[in-house]
Amino acid sequence: MNQRIAVVTGANGGLGESMCIAMCQQGHRVVGGFLPTDEAGAHEWQRRMKSEGYEIALYPLDVTDYDHCCSFISTVEQELGPIDILINNAGITRDAPLKRMLPQQWQAVLRTNLDSMYNMCQPVFEAMCSRGFGRIVNISSLNGEQGQFGQANYSAAKAGIYGFTKAIAKEGASKGVTVNAVSPGFIDTPMVRQIPENVLNAIIAGVPVGRLGQPEEISRAVAFLTAEDAGYITGTNISVNGGAYMS
């Protein structure tokens, strides 16, 4: 197994942590990007990961800022080596019905959840193509597939990921670079557990398998798509949602 440099954005969140662990288990050198305003929390998370046997290099990363992303990528490649695996996981919500959604709520979500795809992929894509290997996985969402009340911004951004993924998959296909999406449904993370119990119970009742997903079920899909022998899978989306949406 070749050891690759694997970058995970939003590394110290519920899903990001599971993805970092999966990449470590594949034998890769894992790099996590964390929100610059959360340095203390990120490094505490890094220490916990190390105590559990997972070495993860951490760097501050503002995925909404193209220049900052370029600087992050340059630093990683100078200090650790070329990036061959990129998992675009960072994302936020700013929910409100459209009639009450403020411009800044719309813009914050689009910048973080969609602009970040360009900001992170564009600086690494040409080098991946020139080396003849690359794996990019963009994390979308069930609500990008089906839409969701109060999430016009989030649903639009996550739906936009599909078009972006397919377009650059065509650009990289003949050069050994695959680009795919994974769309989680409702996953058992701290953010989801903050949903009021009655609302959460109603959500679970609407999931055919009758439960929340586990972070490891998302990272398993990511690990599958980033594998050395996954070179014939590109431009696609894997929905991991317990049957909540079937396309």
Active site residue 154: yes
- What are the b/e assignments for 204-241, b being 16+ CB within 10 Å? eeebeeeebbebebbbbbbbbbbeeeeeeebbebbbbb
- Give the span between the Cα atoms of 101 and 123, in whole angstroms: 32
Among the listed residues 117, 94, 122, the one whose alpha carbon sits nearest the alpha carbon of residue 10: 117
Q: Is 149 exposed, middle or buried (0-12, 13-18, 19+ CB in 10 A)?
A: exposed
Per annotation, catalytic residue among 54, 154, 162, 245: 154
Q: Which residues are catalytic?
A: 154
